[in-house]
């Protein structure tokens, strides 16, 4: 593929009425990939922007504006690498909103997945974000996905183009093969409007996670939930192994009457036990029913303030 995007600008659908012309777009991606900046520059909102490793987007925030006779709703979502919120809780928050919207007859028209072109390597947290995004959407929703690179102004063009080619051939290839398109966002209105015009030509779709929840599955039984659960199980196995090693070292220190080592090992043991307990709680929350949280969200939305931005 060559050029700045893999799609052609689609003509927007003709206006019907305000409700029929609502367009919902989820903006997703790792912390710091430019999600909130994209939304603020597009809508004129004032959502908090994080310039450090700490994530500013802990909940799903909704910003609205009018474009080509449509009411556009942009969902600012937390990344699956939040510094203070677990992946389980992030998935629950996103799933809660999607379930609430579905109950009101609203589905997403498009999903933007943002990725910094300045990232030298793709892996670790960035790779996990991609996998969870893919699982959350599912194959049937890929036609409504735009994989969007950001921060082109912070990198040499030749270097950025090489990274873009690597993304498409090694990391995004399966999503592109399933129908996802790709684009560059360079903070210009032109690049924003190209993306919006493309989405205006797309029908609303249900994501894989919405289909699964509608079938009565718990969050842990969805593909995205299974992915998180696999990681939780792997962490628990690691913590249990580390705990066994520490208990052995603690026992040896007691036999040698080594008080300093005993204190250090006891502290390490307590930290690992706390981490293990937290992962077990995550697994429980992943398997819990979402009905109560959905009802709470419905109440909050019914009493929300009017305006261009609401945090859910």
pLDDT higher than threshold 90 for residue 12: no
Beta strand 309-311 pairing with 145-150: unpaired
Count the Cβ atoms, other than its own, within 10 Å of residue 294.
18
B/e letters for 175-212, b = 16+ CB within 10 Å, e = fewer, are bbebebbbbbbeeeeebbebbbbbbbebeebbbbbbbb
Residue among 222, 205, 210 nearest 294 (CA): 210
How far apart CA 111 and CA 199 sit, in angstroms, is 9
Residue among 206, 243, 241, 208 nearest 223 (CA): 208
What pLDDT is attached to residue 291? 67
How far apart CA 310 and CA 312 sit, in angstroms, is 6
pLDDT higher than threshold 60 for residue 46: no
pLDDT tens digits for 136-193?
999 999 999 999 999 999 999 999 999 999 999 999 999 999 999 999 998 888 888 8
pLDDT tens digits for 268-289?
999 999 999 999 999 998 888 7
Predicted structure pTM score: 0.82
| Distance (Å) of CA 293 to CA 74, 94, 103 | 22, 12, 13
| Distance (Å) of CA 28 to CA 7, 16, 132, 134, 235 | 19, 29, 11, 11, 25
With left for phi above 0 and alpha for psi between -120 and 50, is residue 151 left, alpha or beta? left
Beta strand 61-67 pairing with 309-311: antiparallel
pLDDT tens digits for 181-237?
999 998 888 888 899 999 998 999 999 999 999 999 999 999 999 999 999 999 999
How far apart CA 211 and CA 225 sit, in angstroms, is 13
- Residue 61 near residue 309, CB atoms below 8 Å: yes
């Amino acid at each position: 593929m060559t050029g700045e995007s893999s799609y052609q600008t689609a003509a927007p659908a003709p206006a019907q009425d305000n409700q029929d012309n609502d367009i919902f777009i989820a903006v997703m991606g790792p912390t710091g990939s430019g999600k909130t900046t994209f939304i603020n520059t597009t809508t004129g909102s004032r959502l908090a922007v994080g310039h450090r490793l700490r994530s500013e987007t802990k909940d799903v925030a909704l910003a609205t504006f009018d474009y080509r006779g449509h009411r556009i709703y942009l969902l600012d979502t937390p990344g699956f690498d939040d510094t203070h919120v677990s992946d389980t809780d992030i998935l629950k928050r996103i799933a809660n909103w999607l379930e609430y919207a579905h109950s009101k007859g609203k589905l997403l028209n498009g999903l933007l997945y943002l990725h910094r072109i300045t990232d030298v390597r793709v892996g670790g947290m960035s790779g996990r974000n991609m996998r969870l995004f893919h699982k959350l959407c599912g194959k049937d929703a890929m036609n409504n996905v735009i994989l969007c690179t950001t921060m082109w102004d912070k990198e040499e063009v030749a270097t950025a183009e090489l990274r873009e080619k690597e993304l498409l051939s090694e990391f995004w290839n399966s999503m592109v093969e399933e129908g996802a398109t790709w684009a560059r966002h360079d903070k210009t209105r032109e690049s924003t409007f190209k993306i919006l015009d493309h989405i205006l030509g797309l029908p609303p779709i249900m994501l894989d996670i919405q289909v699964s929840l509608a079938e009565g599955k718990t969050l842990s039984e969805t593909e995205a939930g299974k992915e998180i659960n696999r990681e939780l199980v792997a962490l628990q196995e690691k913590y249990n192994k580390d705990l066994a090693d520490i208990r052995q070292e603690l026992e040896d220190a007691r036999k040698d009457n080594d008080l300093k080592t005993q204190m250090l090992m006891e502290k390490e043991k307590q930290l690992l036990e706390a981490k293990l307990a937290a992962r077990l709680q995550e697994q429980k929350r992943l398997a819990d029913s979402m009905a109560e949280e959905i009802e709470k969200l419905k109440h909050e939305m019914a009493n929300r303030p009017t305006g261009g931005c609401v945090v859910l």
